[in-house]
Structure formats: C-alpha cells, structure tokens
Amino acid sequence: KVKPQLEEKEGKTFDVFTAVEFKTQVVAGTNYFIKVHVGNDEFVHLRVFRSLPHENKPLHLHSYQSSKTKHDELAYF
C-alpha cells in the first residue's frame, strides 16, 4: 500500500518491491520500520505509520532512507 507513495517521492517505479525485514514501535498507532528489496543490490528502509483503528486512516509513508544494502541494519529513524 505504500509502494505508490515511495514511487511518487522518488520519481521512479520499482519492478521489485519485497519486504525482507521489519520492526515495530507502538506509539499512538504503530510505526513499522521495513527493509525493502527494490531490485539488484538496492534496498530502501521505510518508516510507515498505521493509525489507531478508530481513526480509519490509510497507511502513511512517514519517511524513508534510500541507497541501503542487504547488510545495513534496520534501525529506528
């Protein structure tokens, strides 16, 4: 659900978009930190926010870090 948001911010499309690892952080909702393989040896780290159920809001790509590798640690940002 956040792939189009990232593609819009990056100004390109990703043929490959596979989550390989994630962590969560509970706030007033949930932050998901997701390592995503986007082709070749390229990875991006996403910070996605899911609001509380009663707010009925879509997933939101809060921020991201590009130019990551498979071995870069997925950390909170």
Round to whole Å and give the CA distance between 29 and 8.
24
- Residues 33 and 1: their CA atoms lie apart, in Å, by 14
pLDDT tier for residue 75 given thresholds of 50, 70 and 90: confident
- Domain assignment present for residue 22? The answer is yes
Inside any domain, residue 55: yes
In a domain, residue 29? The reply is yes
Say if 76 falls within a structural domain: no
Domain count, the chain: 1
Domain annotation covers residue 75:
no
Chain segment 50-71, per-residue pLDDT in tens: 999 889 898 999 999 999 999 9
Task: Fill in the amino acid letter for 39.
Answer: G
For 41-51, the pLDDT digits (tens) are: 999 999 999 99
Distance (Å, whole) CA 27 – CA 21:
20
pTM (2 decimals)?
0.87
In a domain, residue 74? The reply is: no
